[in-house]
Structure 1
Amino acid sequence: MSISALIFLLLILAGFTYFIGRQKIYTQYQQTALPQGKRILTLPKYFGYVAALWSLLPALIVLIVIELVHEPLVNQQVSSYMSANGIETAGDFDLYLNGIKNIDTSQLDSVEPSQLAVFEKYTSLNNIANTARSLIVLAIALLMAIFALKKIKIDTPARRIFEKIIEIILLLAASIAIMTTVGIVLSVLFESMSFFGEVPIADFMFGTEWSPQTAIRSDQVGSSAAFGAVPLFIGTMLISFIALFVSVPLGLFSAIFLSEYASARFRAIAKPVLEILAGIPTVVYGFFAALTVAPFIRDLGESLGLSVASESALAAGLVMGIMIIPFVSSLADDVISAVPNAMREGSLGLGATKSETIVKVLIPAALPGIVGGVLLAASRAIGETMIVVMAAGLAANLTVNPLEAVTTVTVQIVTLLTGDQEFDSAKTMAAFALGLMLFITTLVLNVIALHVVRKYREQYE
């Protein structure tokens, strides 16, 4: 039985348990005479909820545990079978077993006898494990449903139990998000430490040449790689600065106009149209940058006597700035509109003009939200890949000239991890080191933004 079908049966059983539990308590309420002046404090539905959760949650937990140990146990049994029958793999066992799993059942005649025997053994073990999994999970769900229906009574604090179970579920959900973040950080950190064991951290942090190509043998060309990340971070900051230089003024001015000057009819049309920019795929922006903006900038520069590369940081930054305008505009519009009208009316009542009220009252009061929008836009710009690949290129040039080709950290991470690479090579592990540095950069931006938000929030609360 498939996982989806098994979960569907568990949900049906839980629903059935809910109705039985609710009906049981409802019948007991009708048969029990309440003392004078007392009333029912717990509705029958809460008893049904508790019974359904007792039936569903333990079965789901057991299902998750079985899924975690299912494949390793089957692989171990297959390995033991191969050892007992003298079947050897030509290479790595995991790769061999993956090939066995991908055998087309319609072409079994062309499979080698040894592989066919392993395939039949694996299929047999997998079918047995799936059947056992379904029987165990359904049996636990049924037993827990019977147990819950017998235990619930009128005096059971069903509502309190239900609220506690929901609280635990929400806590687990929050814990999963936190543990996922911790896991990502630790995995990147460990791989980065392995990289820094081969490449000195000073060479990585302060090196000015990036050429991660390595060779298999020492006598091959390219065996001496350079991992200086300075050109990558300079390129990232250059393109992000251009993008923010475009998006922050345009987004903030758009938000001010929509919230303070535009009519309700114009706002209802303009704001959705503006936010459509956030829904356009980045590859479309990349095509627009490579086919329209970059040639226009190159032709314009040549007409002015300037040397402009076919792939320039300026083209990528301009298009990226257009893409992230909605991130700034939408959040800034919301926070400016949320400023209490009493502050507007007080400023206007003291004789300030509308523009003075916006500059001296509304913008400072809404600054925490505006900083949040700018930070979101900055993170979006730093993490963008497709536009840079198509409009700025892959050349790791150490320059701050926006008319030249540059590359970014994210583009190099994708390049390093693309294709068949040795996972323990310095070239591959360099991607994790770049990811760690990018994580630290965004963390610093968050700390700065948090400081600004707290400073102005204290003034206006």
Structure 2
Amino acid sequence: MPVLWLVLIVATLALGGFFAGRRRALSDAGGDHRRLHSLPAYYGWNAALKVAVPAAGVLTVWLLAQPLVVGLVVVGDLPQDVVTEGSSMDLVMSEVRRTVSGLEGAVAAGVMSPEEARSPLLDAQRISEALREAGQIVSGQLPQPVISAAQQMRQLDNAGDWLMSGAALAAALAGLLWALRETGAAFRARNAVENGLRAVLVAAASLAVLTTLGIVLSLIFNTVEFFRIYPASEFFGSLTWSPSFGGRSELGIWPLLWGTLYISLIALIVAVPIGLFAAIYLSEYASRRVRSVVKPLLEVLAGIPTIVYGLFALLTVGPLLMEVFGNEGLGWMRSGTAVMTAGLVMGIMLIPFVSSLSDDIINAVPQSLRDGSYGLGATQSETIRKVILPAALPGIVGAILLATSRAIGETMIVVLGAGAAARLSLNPFDAMTTITAKIVSQLTGDADFSSPEALVAFALGMTLFVITLALNIVALVVVRKYREQYE
């Protein structure tokens, strides 16, 4: 059963449980709601929650666990000789999953019947031709073990989907019966609903923490695996980045880290002054009419997709810089893709992050501080420099930190505007690349996660995580120390 249908069925059961619980409570009270412990709606919500929450829990756990269990079963049934030289089990499983998608596409296109897709009697040549006819594979013939594993995976997935539907519906019906059984005039429905909602809110709040923990653990485990097969001394000690999936790679992080910090620095040099000055103007000098026009126009920059900024860097900013700093100008720039190109465009992208947040923070400074400064004879500029900005400094530092994290994690502008060269250079008109861009390139295609060339992406991601964490800690220390002095 499709997940959408299952969700609709559970929602219908929850809605029916709401009205059934409400009606049952009123019936037990003889139609007089004054005899009820809680308002009638609480009895309905109690039944709806006891239907929806268990079903949603079963559905979530099942959707997370089923791919892992099915993958383990399929891997256990694959013959050992299916892994050829130069391949790995990860690549074989990727081929199996693509074949599963191909079989489903062939059935949807009418090239194969569902019975043919499930039949173990069809040879590899017939299935490969059917998949090719449906546009699922281009050439070549799939190995028979891969096709058998794909058919097994489809069968297990289908069986798991039906079992999931049955388990979710059984949990929903059990919750409905439980709610109706306990519903009565003396039942404390309001307490039960409030406790249930509190548990839902705690679970929602815990989701962010658990997600962060999962990300960190996945980075740690894969980083440890990378350092198990590639020396950490070479990763942190080498100044050369030269990956080769054929072996003998040099995976030094310093060229990528330098490109990341260099481009981010130029972006912040552009974004912080412009964004901060714009925020001061909008909050302290601009009229209400001007502010109502300029502030939304600035915030439009935050809604532009980063790929558009990348195209802007590639097609507009790069050629403009070439006219000034290229061979026809000063001769400093060899191509339009350079650190300066990506840094300028990234700085434009970051302006609304700094200006909008700083504007809100400056506006939050109490008016009494301004009035007191004016009462002592200070001018408006002196009030801004010596009263408002120091009071708003913690928030402004937070805005700059957010912009810094956004710059460090940017990818598309770097790919299109800065190039792909991993080098150590002080020339801002040279092409360079960043950690995020190389993470994408190392994981593009059929990544063999048993090779250091693919696992290095996790080590790079872990490095970015540590850098961002260090920035947060430094910012908190600085803000706390300044706040103590100011107070």
Using the size of structure 1 for normalisation, the TM-score is 0.88
- In structure 1, the residue matched to 2:257 is 233
Contact 1:55 1:144 in 2 (8 A): yes
Letter in 1 for 2:122: P
Aligned counterparts of 1:388 and 1:199: Cα–Cα separation in 2: 27
- Indicate whether 1:54 and 2:78 are aligned: no
1:407 is aligned, of 408, 412, 433, to 433
**What pairs up with 1:187-198 in 2 under 5 angstroms?**
187-198=218-229
Deviation at 1:21, TM superposition (A): 1.4
Aligned counterparts of 2:413 and 2:68: Cα–Cα separation in 1: 41
- In structure 1, the residue matched to 2:415 is 389
- In structure 1, the residue matched to 2:59 is 63
Aligned counterparts of 1:325 and 1:185: Cα–Cα separation in 2: 30
Letter in 2 for 1:26: L
Contact 2:350 2:403 in 1 (8 A): yes
Deviation at 1:184, TM superposition (A): 1.1
Deviation at 1:49, TM superposition (A): 0.9
- Indicate whether 1:338 and 2:364 are aligned: yes
Moved more, 345-354 or 305-314: 305-314
Distance change (3 Å), C-alpha of 1:356 and 1:432: same
What do residues 368-426 of structure 1 show as CA deviations (whole Å, max 9, x unaligned)? 11111101111111111111111211111111221211111111111111122322111
Deviation at 1:326, TM superposition (A): 0.2
Aligned counterparts of 1:445 and 1:76: Cα–Cα separation in 2: 40
Contact 2:37 2:189 in 1 (8 A): no
What do residues 259-307 of structure 1 show as CA deviations (whole Å, max 9, x unaligned)? 0000000000000001111111112211221222122222212465342
Distance change (3 Å), C-alpha of 1:20 and 1:457: farther
- In structure 1, the residue matched to 2:196 is 165
Aligned counterparts of 2:65 and 2:411: Cα–Cα separation in 1: 37
Aligned counterparts of 2:279 and 2:353: Cα–Cα separation in 1: 11
- In structure 2, the residue matched to 1:290 is 314
- Indicate whether 1:113 and 2:122 are aligned: yes
What do residues 203-236 of structure 1 show as CA deviations (whole Å, max 9, x unaligned)? 2223211111242xxxxxxx43212211111111
**What pairs up with 1:5-404 in 2 under 5 angstroms?**
5-29=5-29, 42-68=38-64, 70=66, 94=93, 95-96=95-96, 99-100=99-100, 102-103=102-103, 104-105=106-107, 106-108=110-112, 113=122, 129-215=160-246, 223-302=247-326, 305-310=330-335, 311-404=337-430
Deviation at 1:12, TM superposition (A): 1.0
Letter in 2 for 1:351: G
Deviation at 1:441, TM superposition (A): 0.6
- In structure 2, the residue matched to 1:218 is none
What do residues 86-128 of structure 1 show as CA deviations (whole Å, max 9, x unaligned)? 9x97976744475256322323389762568968877666655
Deviation at 1:241, TM superposition (A): 0.6
Letter in 1 for 2:205: A
Deviation at 1:135, TM superposition (A): 3.9
Distance change (3 Å), C-alpha of 1:373 and 1:13: same
Moved more, 333-342 or 417-426: 417-426
Deviation at 1:6, TM superposition (A): 1.4
Moved more, 258-267 or 312-321: 312-321
- For the residue of structure 1 that corresponds to 2:111, the secondary structure is helix
Query: Could you say what the CA RMSD is over the residues aligned between the two structures, in angstroms?
Result: 2.9
Aligned counterparts of 1:187 and 1:121: Cα–Cα separation in 2: 28
Letter in 1 for 2:277: F
Contact 1:314 1:402 in 2 (8 A): yes
Moved more, 279-288 or 296-305: 296-305
Aligned counterparts of 1:387 and 1:199: Cα–Cα separation in 2: 30
Q: Which runs of 5+ in 2 are unaligned?
A: 128-146
Using the size of structure 2 for normalisation, the TM-score is 0.83
Distance change (3 Å), C-alpha of 1:361 and 1:276: same
Letter in 2 for 1:435: G
Letter in 1 for 2:219: V
Aligned counterparts of 2:397 and 2:465: Cα–Cα separation in 1: 19
- Indicate whether 1:437 and 2:437 are aligned: no
Aligned counterparts of 1:72 and 1:437: Cα–Cα separation in 2: 28
- In structure 1, the residue matched to 2:131 is none
Aligned counterparts of 1:198 and 1:120: Cα–Cα separation in 2: 34
Distance change (3 Å), C-alpha of 1:166 and 1:33: closer
Contact 2:439 2:460 in 1 (8 A): yes
Aligned counterparts of 1:8 and 1:184: Cα–Cα separation in 2: 31
What do residues 178-213 of structure 1 show as CA deviations (whole Å, max 9, x unaligned)? 111111111111221222223322322232111112
Moved more, 246-255 or 427-436: 427-436
Moved more, 235-244 or 284-293: 284-293
Percent of pairs identical after alignment? 45
**Aligned length in residues:** 446
Aligned counterparts of 2:436 and 2:419: Cα–Cα separation in 1: 12
Q: Which runs of 5+ in 1 are unaligned?
A: 216-222
Aligned counterparts of 1:431 and 1:414: Cα–Cα separation in 2: 8
- For the residue of structure 2 that corresponds to 1:324, the secondary structure is helix
- In structure 2, the residue matched to 1:220 is none
Deviation at 1:146, TM superposition (A): 2.4
Contact 1:89 1:96 in 2 (8 A): no
- For the residue of structure 2 that corresponds to 1:159, the secondary structure is helix
Letter in 2 for 1:244: L
Contact 2:414 2:434 in 1 (8 A): yes
Aligned counterparts of 1:90 and 1:315: Cα–Cα separation in 2: 45
Contact 2:100 2:151 in 1 (8 A): no
Moved more, 205-214 or 11-20: 205-214
